[in-house]
Structure 1
């Protein structure tokens, strides 16, 4: 089951520079994303990990809101771009399937359109890992495209790639969160913007404490 990690890492290494250039100013034009991130920033305390951080734009936005945020990404190429773009922030290579973090060491964790590359059968295991590293009272934010299908991508950001992404049903992810021990706090599903093909979902959950 590690093949998907190798494929995801390779794809994002290839597109890292183009991805950052394309999405660099995306948050400035996306009020719903900023609103959800602002709500999460109000809830989170302590250190916050942006897992699957890509080029660091979400990490940097959270830091601008006063959050003690750092980024983790599977792709060394993405981490290199993130460090160059945001040299004042910390970024490291790592995998959400086995977070190299102590138990109860985080006040918050964000998986912003990154859980979508993990096969759905592994979601309970990944969410259990998120639960482990969050301190009691810590908050989790997930963002993903709504649906229930696998998409095998061969092109992206101007490059040939081999990447799998999953559209996910919010109710199933919410049920997995409950099974992992979380308390779902906020669920937002918004209509797609013109450049998007499906609705977008944001889930905020809390570790009891």
Structure 2
């Protein structure tokens, strides 16, 4: 591990590399049976089209299905994921799209180059003390008027969970469950204006409610 790489990034990358295959098989397109979630993604796409031709980054792109949906919705989009194995699998599944390895805490992108950012269920692995840096990066790379759509598991209060096994593989993955109010506060402090909030109840095998937050960098 690079001595400058935060330990949580190393642990998250290693864990998702270990489970990339079965994770991708299980979550090949997790939005397929979630019409409300798809509608929110479509609404985001409609908002961001006004920022064209600036591209959209799907951060924590995993198997690449969300990136592909955004592409189908008419957005110039690329995927970023911390796990090299996830990036390789997504690139194999969607060879017409661009995916690369990167971290949301330090985006390898110039200032004010993105029309939008989507981060679905990837923020949960970022500890509280790294959220300010992460949202400052989002603010830096967005064009004025650009939008962010976040999704994360939520509950009545903030809590954390440490996972040591998934799909029969040993992992070391920390998950941070936060309320919409907590995440909204961090967005506001980073200069991103909250525009909408949706919380839905768990769907079938989900154990926690899902929160969606839409924010915008002031024009």
TM-score (norm 2): 0.93
1:4-15 aligned within 5 A? 4-15=8-19
Across the two proteins, how many residue pairs are aligned to each other? Answer: 209
Task: Give the distance between the partners of 1:32 and 1:163, measured in 2 at CA.
Answer: 28
- Alignment correspondent of 1:49: 57
1:118 Cα offset (Å): 0.5
- Alignment correspondent of 1:38: 42
1:187 Cα offset (Å): 0.5
Match of 2:23 among 8, 19, 26: 19
1:1-209 aligned within 5 A? 2-44=6-48, 45=51, 46-147=54-155, 148-209=158-219
Report Cα offsets for 1:134-174 as digits up to 9, x if no partner: 00010001110003111101122342211111111100111
Task: Give the distance between the partners of 1:169 and 1:112, measured in 2 at CA.
Answer: 15
What secondary structure sits across from 1:28 in the alignment? coil
Task: Give the distance between the partners of 2:73 and 2:151, measured in 1 at CA.
Answer: 19
1:202 Cα offset (Å): 0.4
What secondary structure sits across from 2:194 in the alignment? strand
Q: CA RMSD in A?
A: 1.1
1:26 Cα offset (Å): 2.4
- Alpha carbons of 1:49 and 1:25: their partners in 2 closer, same or farther (altered >3 Å)? closer
What secondary structure sits across from 2:40 in the alignment? helix
Task: Give the distance between the partners of 1:157 and 1:27, measured in 2 at CA.
Answer: 21
| 2:29–2:66 CA contact under 8 A, matched in 1 | no
Structure 1 segments of 4 or more deviating over 2 A?
157-160
What secondary structure sits across from 1:162 in the alignment? strand
| 2:113–2:142 CA contact under 8 A, matched in 1 | yes
